[in-house]
Structure 1
Amino acid sequence: MTPKRGDDVAPPPVENEWRLRFATNEAAKGWGELGAEAPGNTRRCFEALRRDPTSRSDPDRRHRLRGRLALGNLGGRDHPQWEYEVTAGGRVHHLVDEARRTVSLV
């Protein structure tokens, strides 16, 4: 998704941070809605995914998905799919591409 006038500016990753991107237009829309509903929690999610998208330090809030949701396909390649619970009803599903150090929000 190419940024356009009026879009928010995401800070670029620095040092050991991971790159975050939207895999779909729906993910971008949902992220914006989640940020409007719970800005503090959404920011904490953003920072946590930037630092370590596969951390198991808080299993109640973030974990790898299982079963048919364990993998997600993006660009013809399968990637592990994780979930971050931002609010009781708001979750961010993301694919982790370790080779490219990229997290794709789906």
Structure 2
Amino acid sequence: MPAGRNDRAAPPRRAGGYEIRFASKDAADGWEELARVASNALRTAWEAIDSNPLTPTSVDRHHRLKAGYATVTVKGRTLEQWQYEVTAGGRIWFGVDREEKVVWITYASTRHPKATD
């Protein structure tokens, strides 16, 4: 659905940068939840992912996932999967399509993912 009156405006892709998209409705809903409870931290995460999703500036918060979570398939493509720790429990997982220059948000939540407990 195209943006309309009163909808939030997302920043456009920077020249040479990555486009950031949601891989699922759950990821988009989780993003909105993070925006409600940790907007400043989410903005910091967005800027880190937008500037260079493959080169962490904060290795404590931004790193590649391991083992069975190291890759994710989005639209038939197998991508490296990374994580950004937004808050103590809040996480964003994202796959990076280097060829298309798209970052796919695959998970976003204020809670730590149960899959990695």
TM-score w.r.t. length of structure 1: 0.92
Q: Deviation string for 1:41-95 (max 9, x for gaps)?
A: 1001111111100113321101000100000001111000000000001000000
SS of structure 1 residue aligned to 2:30 = helix
In 2, Cα distance between the equivalents of 1:73 and 1:95? Answer: 8
Query: Contact 1:97/1:103 (CA < 8 Å) preserved in 2?
Result: yes
Query: Contact 2:48/2:56 (CA < 8 Å) preserved in 1?
Result: no
Match of 1:69 in 2: 69
In 2, Cα distance between the equivalents of 1:88 and 1:31? Answer: 16
The count of corresponding residues between Structure 1 and Structure 2 is 105
Match of 2:18 in 1: 18
Unaligned runs of 5+ in 2: 107-117
Match of 2:51 in 1: 51
Structure 1: which amino acid aligns with 2:36? A
Identity of aligned residues (%): 38
In 2, Cα distance between the equivalents of 1:70 and 1:34? Answer: 23
**How much has 1:14 moved relative to structure 2?**
1.9
Structure 1: which amino acid aligns with 2:53? P
Unaligned runs of 5+ in 1: none
**How much has 1:7 moved relative to structure 2?**
3.5
Q: RMSD value over aligned CA atoms?
A: 1.2
Query: Contact 1:16/1:51 (CA < 8 Å) preserved in 2?
Result: no
